[in-house]
């Protein structure tokens, strides 16, 4: 148990971390009236010619944003 994290975050990542408000899709939810959920953090990056989007945990958002800025 030397290191609790067995998979440390990389120092450089391509892309950008963006906070987004999302809609869940349930018809009776508050987001159907315009009160969206969030913010949730996503990393946007290109793989080839396609734009990819991956979810980023709130606890890791600052570290991943820093890695994207270092890229």
Given the structure tokens 């969030």, which residue do they identify? 38
Q: What is the pLDDT of residue 9?
A: 63
pTM summary value: 0.77
Beta bridge partners of 56: 41
Domain ranges across the chain = 16-70
Q: What is the pLDDT of residue 10?
A: 65
User: Mean pLDDT score of the chain, rounded to an integer?
Assistant: 87
CA separation for the pair 3, 1 (Å, rounded): 5
Contact in structure between 52 and 30 (CB atoms under 8 Å): no
- Mean pLDDT over 62-69 rounds to 90
CA separation for the pair 23, 31 (Å, rounded): 6
Q: Write the pLDDT tens digit of every residue in 24-58.
A: 999 999 999 999 999 999 999 999 999 999 999 99
């Amino acid at each position: 148990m030397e290191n609790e994290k067995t998979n440390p975050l990389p120092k450089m990542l391509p892309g950008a971390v963006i906070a987004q408000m999302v809609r869940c899709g349930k018809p009776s939810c508050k987001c159907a009236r315009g009160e969206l959920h969030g913010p949730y953090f996503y990393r946007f990056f290109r793989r080839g010619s396609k734009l990819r989007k991956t979810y980023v945990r709130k606890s890791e958002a600052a570290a991943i944003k820093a890695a994207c800025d270092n890229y």
